[in-house]
Amino acid sequence: MAKNRKLTIGVDFGTDSVRTLLVDALNGETLSVGSSNYELWAKGKYCNPNKSQFRQHPIDHINSLKKSMSELLKDIPESTINSVYGLSIASTGSTPVAVDVNGVPLALLEDFKDNPNAMFILWKDHSAIKEALEINELAHSGDFNDYTKYVGGTYSSEWFWSKILHVLRVDEKVRNAAYSWVEHSDWIPALLTGNDDPLKIKRNVCSAGHKAMWNKSWGGLPSDEFLLTVDPLLQGLRERLYTKTYTADMEAGYITGEWAKELGLPKHTKVGVGSLDAHMGAVGAQIKPNYLVKVIGTSTCDMLTISKVEIKKKVVEGICGQVDGSILPDMIGLEAGQSAFGDIYAWLKKLLMWNLEGPNSFSKPRSKELWEGAISQYNKTILEDLSNAASQLTISDSDIVALDWLNGRRTPDSNQSLKGGILGLTLGSDPPKIFKALVESTCFGSRKILERFLEESIEIKGVIAVGGVAQKSNFVMQTLADILNYPVSVMRSNNTCALGAAMSAAVVSGIYQDYYMAQKAMGRGIKKTFQPNKQNVEVYNKLYEKYLSFAEYVEKDTIQ
């Protein structure tokens, strides 16, 4: 190992696990990767899908961070570790948690250790649909500023205020104990730097602007009067939150001695202000102005940067917001996305495996070990087998059409009450045909987002895909290219969100002056570009019209 190396670490807290990346900031070489699943989450603890309740215990995140860092550094010499100068994190969001006056999440206190309302409310939790509707109704009443103006015009149940209000309403014990609330992307940097006073935690502009209706034009967060009118339970909370926000190229502080020892890092390690995972994924994908970066995993986040000169005073309707500095500090960051993408494929897999696992599985196999091995292998290959079979099917305008709203609709025009659907089933509809329709539905949902940007006069010069689905499925990516009628470039890095965080850490620690220099030096480039198949494009244009008609019918029925 060269003595003059300058290393950084990117930490990506995803939905199911935390992944860490050790990178040589001078050339972008990945030296090591660590990962650890959330144990309690994997067991389904504190979640109730029937109520759209998805909660994660802070101890899961702490333990997985430790395990992931241990794996990351286990074979790295101490002399090399001493060359680590920066660490930054990317995290799911909006994922807030109630904290006490000392900044400790309530679930880490004995009295709340098994209370889901005292835990992180995961981005995909939709238990606050009613609260989101009430926020929207008041914001659009004309009695106040329209605080939804810069978040697409519709506030979501996936976001900060609606989640907080829901918990305050349903849990008096948490309501009385909660001094403040902190996003996961702010809490981890605060934890590592010891800057955990709720009033002094450096809150990132990314989650504040896109999820909490923070905007400079009205002095930060929505006014006390607005919040009080939404519900008196919110009275006084604003002053226990924050006014100022920070971009992710700024430092949260140095790692504490305790955490340096715990994670095996040098005390000179600077920790950056946090950010949302998709936004760091866009940084890692070397995002360029007017290029749509799709971070494709369990859900999608679609990221785009545009210059302040180009967007002027334009406000894009129906997306997840436009925020100054949320992706790159000197650009306007636009976010859209789908509430489910890979989760839809996982749903079909679970459906097909219903009688092979759990209490209804085959009860007396001749060899338990052979049976479990077969099930494990089937679980690993079923989606690949479905993809291979689906890719051999002829595409016809009479094919099955599905809606991608199995977890509601994030954009365009958020509506988490919507449900999915499948149209055109017959007795000949086998799993590959249904899988094909579900894949197409997710790509049709992506096309609807792209078209919204175009309708709002936002130029799209190209499409870039990152994330697990983009890396693993050529079938999905080719379908996406055909349906969008755009070339889709898949980035080379398997860990783009963590890589973006490592780039951010390189700026925070002073290795590079700005993101552009870090991206140029540390970017891994494009792995493969999928070109649209002209013949498929023509057929998909017809199927897309059926998707739109089906969507209109389902949405109208839901509203009625």
Question: In sequence order, what E strands does 96-201 have?
Answer: 96-99, 120-121, 180-183
Q: What is the reported pLDDT for 376?
A: 77
Q: Is the pLDDT of residue 337 over 50?
A: yes
pLDDT at 457 over 50: yes
pLDDT of residue 30: 97
pLDDT confidence tier of residue 156, bands split at 50, 70 and 90: very high
20-34 pLDDT, tens digit per residue, is 999 999 999 999 999
Global pTM value: 0.91
Give the pLDDT of residue 1.
43
List, in sequence order, the alpha helices (H) in 231-365: 257-263, 277-284, 308-311, 342-352
| Cα–Cα dist 89/276, whole Å | 8
pLDDT beyond 80 at 533: yes
Q: How many CB atoms lie within 10 A of CB 91?
A: 30
Q: Has residue 87 got a pLDDT over 50? A: yes
What number is the average pLDDT over the span 164-174? 98
Question: Is 147's pLDDT higher than 90?
Answer: yes
How far apart are alpha carbons 293 and 399 in whole angstroms? Answer: 29
pLDDT in tens, 340-396: 999 999 999 999 988 776 555 555 555 667 667 777 777 789 999 999 999 999 999
pLDDT of residue 221: 98
CATH pick for 7-285+494-524 out of 3.30.565.10, 3.30.420.40, 1.10.630.10, 3.10.20.30:
3.30.420.40
Instruction: Write the CA distances from 436 to 297, 392, 433, integer angstroms.
Output: 17, 10, 5
Contact (CB, 8 A) for 276 and 206: yes
Q: What is the mean pLDDT of residues 216-227?
A: 97
Tell me the domain boundaries of the chain.
7-285+494-524, 342-492+527-559
Cα angle for residues 296, 298, 302 (degrees, 5° grid): 35
What does the mean pLDDT of the chain come to? 95
pLDDT over 50 (residue 194) = yes
Pairing of strands 526-530, 7-13: unpaired
Q: What is the pLDDT of residues 383-439, one digit of tens each?
A: 999 999 999 999 999 999 999 999 999 999 999 899 999 999 999 999 999 999 999
Could you check whether 7-285+494-524 and 342-492+527-559 share the same CATH topology? Answer: yes
* Sign of the alpha-carbon dihedral angle for 280, 283, 289, 294: negative
Specify the CATH superfamily of domain 342-492+527-559.
ATPase, nucleotide binding domain (3.30.420.40)
pLDDT tens per residue, range 231-242: 999 999 999 999
pLDDT value of residue 375: 77
* pLDDT over 80 at 453, yes or no: yes
Q: Is 71 exposed, middle or buried (0-12, 13-18, 19+ CB in 10 A)?
A: middle
| Cα distance from N-terminal residue to C-terminal residue, the chain | 66
Cα-only R_g, the chain:
23
